[in-house]
Amino acid sequence: MADSNASTSDEVYLRYYLGHSSVVNGREFLEFEFRPNGKLRYANNSNYKKEVMIRKEVFVSKAVREQLKTIIRDSNIMKADDAEWPEPNRDGSQEIEIVLDNEHISFTTSKIGSLIEVTESKDQVGMRDFYYLVQDLKVFVFSLMGLHFKIKPVPI
């Protein structure tokens, strides 16, 4: 689902969502979003042991946004197509939306529990690219949040 007319600048936009609903814990999700102006929004709603929703926002530097672009480009996700990917189900869903290099993609699929699910899918290459991109993005975001929200924050 690529759209070549989405943007005319070299800015980047990315939104990732992973969530599910359960009878016991209600709606649980992880979501983060990088906006073109540098704002990184993070939300984690886990009702495990009656935890409250965590919401954090931080502005990231141009260098961080450039690294985000590199992660996305190196993943080859912009060449993928989710037509053969598993549909979201009762176990949950994942969504990713990216605007980069005048292209706009938006994918939705089921939660991926392990690499076995990737190797058993109809589009192993696309699902593998998506799986590893999500892993890289989570590490990137968690690192940025950890650096910024320490007692003595590191400017990012």
Contacts from 49-56 at CB under 8 Å and sequence distance 24+?
56/145, 56/149
The per-residue pLDDT for 151 is: 60
Phi/psi at 31 (5° precision): -145, 140
The per-residue pLDDT for 41 is: 95
Cα separation, 20 vs 111, whole angstroms:
9
State pTM to two decimals. Answer: 0.83
The per-residue pLDDT for 148 is: 80
Q: Mean pLDDT of all residues in the chain? A: 86
pLDDT tens digits along 46-98: 766 666 778 899 999 999 999 999 999 999 999 999 999 999 888 889 999 99
- Angstrom distances, CA of residue 2 to CA of 59, 104, 107: 28, 5, 10
Assess whether pLDDT exceeds 60 at residue 6.
no
pLDDT band for 36, please (50, 70, 90 cuts): very high
Cα separation, 88 vs 152, whole angstroms:
41
**Looking at residue 83, what DSSP letter applies?**
G
Cα separation, 103 vs 143, whole angstroms:
27
